[in-house]
């Protein structure tokens, strides 16, 4: 990656990096490292091997798409890599922290400080205004109401919704609602944003607006994005596409 700390260096890194998914050793600049991660759901008889030994490294400032058929394990990968869910075996390291060694509480705090999440369905509380939805994670983590409001307004500004802060989700379009969830994901100034089918509920034009917003946040601020998507148009806007089949990475495409 030719980016560090949000700055685009004038000269692209000349090294042709070996695209070896099995090489899980943490490379310089890698912010997410998975080593032989497996995930088995259920008990005897009803076991589902959702991840069958996934190794993956994502660099700081990279924008990666995870693609594959429904049921191939994309959401499981995102949940395990982000620490939302436990792995069955293997290891996950985020910014040098082995997340399996953290207690549940420490992991929740670690996520809150380092990561934002965007889902297909917006997960916005209908009774709260846009700005209240965005500030909620801050209020919950003990930030003062005044500072929370200022930071939420700044986050809404980053997604182009400064003037819509008082509206409730029902008064916003689908694209605007997804912008609110992106603002909420940014409110803690995370380094990584995980997105699971962020354009899945949007028409293609609105989807394009949302991915353009993510691209801008990636380019201008060096945010690392991991985006699970069915949508080839979304994948095509990323630096790299990871293709999954049956719980395994079968192919990688480096696009830029």
What single-letter DSSP state applies at residue 169? G
Q: How far is the CB of 79 from Mg ion (least distance, A)?
A: 9
Nearer to Mg ion, 46 or 70 (CB): 70
Tally Cβ neighbours within 10 Å of residue 256: 9
Q: How far is the CB of 238 from ligand ADP (least distance, A)?
A: 17
State which of positions 38-77 bind ligand ADP (CB under 6 A): 41-42, 48, 50, 68, 70-76
C-beta of residue 23 within 8 angstroms of C-beta of residue 30:
no
Q: Which of 75, 82, 129, 181 binds Mg ion (CB under 5 A)?
A: 75
φ/ψ of 195, rounded to 5, equals: -130, 125
Name the token pair of 28: 């310089």
Nearer to Mg ion, 67 or 159 (CB): 67
CA 68/CA 192 separation, integer angstroms: 22
User: Nearest 5°: CA angle at 113, between 7 and 130?
Assistant: 90
Nearer to ligand ADP, 127 or 245 (CB): 245
Nearer to ligand ADP, 165 or 198 (CB): 198
Nearer to Mg ion, 35 or 196 (CB): 196
48 binds, among Mg ion, ligand ADP, none (CB under 5 to 8 A by kind): ligand ADP
Counting Cβ atoms within 10 Å, is residue 59 exposed (0-12), middle (13-18) or buried (19+)? Answer: buried
Pair type for strands 89-94 and 248-254: unpaired
Q: How far is the CB of 75 from Mg ion (least distance, A)?
A: 3
Name the token pair of 161: 């919704």
Q: How many residues bind ligand ADP (CB under 6 A)?
A: 12
Binding residues for ligand ADP, rule: CB under 6 A, are: 41-42, 48, 50, 68, 70-76
Binding residues for Mg ion, rule: CB under 5 A, are: 74-75
């Amino acid at each position: 990656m030719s980016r560090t700390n949000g700055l685009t260096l004038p000269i692209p890194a000349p090294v042709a990096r070996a695209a070896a998914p099995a090489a899980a050793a943490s490379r310089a600049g890698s912010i997410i490292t998975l080593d032989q991660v497996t995930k088995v759901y259920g008990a005897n008889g009803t076991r589902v091997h959702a991840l069958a030994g996934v190794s993956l490294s994502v660099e700081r400032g990279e924008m990666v798409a995870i693609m594959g058929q429904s049921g191939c394990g994309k959401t499981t990968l995102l949940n395990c890599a982000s620490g939302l869910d436990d792995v069955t075996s293997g290891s996950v390291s985020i910014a040098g922290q082995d997340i399996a060694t953290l207690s549940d509480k420490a992991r929740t705090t670690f996520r809150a400080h380092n990561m934002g999440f965007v889902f297909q369905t917006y997960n916005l509380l209908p009774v709260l205004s846009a700005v209240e939805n965005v500030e909620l994670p801050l209020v919950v983590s003990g930030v003062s109401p005044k500072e929370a409001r200022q930071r939420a307004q700044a986050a809404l500004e980053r997604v182009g919704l400064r003037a819509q802060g008082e509206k409730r989700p029902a008064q916003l379009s689908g694209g605007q609602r997804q912008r609110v969830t992106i603002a909420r994901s940014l409110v803690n100034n995370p380094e990584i944003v995980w997105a699971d089918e962020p354009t899945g509920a949007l028409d293609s034009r609105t989807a394009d607006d949302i991915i353009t917003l993510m691209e801008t946040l990636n380019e201008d601020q060096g945010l690392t994005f991991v985006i699970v998507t069915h949508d080839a148009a979304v994948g095509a806007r990323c630096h790299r596409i990871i293709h999954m089949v049956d719980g395994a990475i079968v192919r990688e495409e480096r696009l830029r």
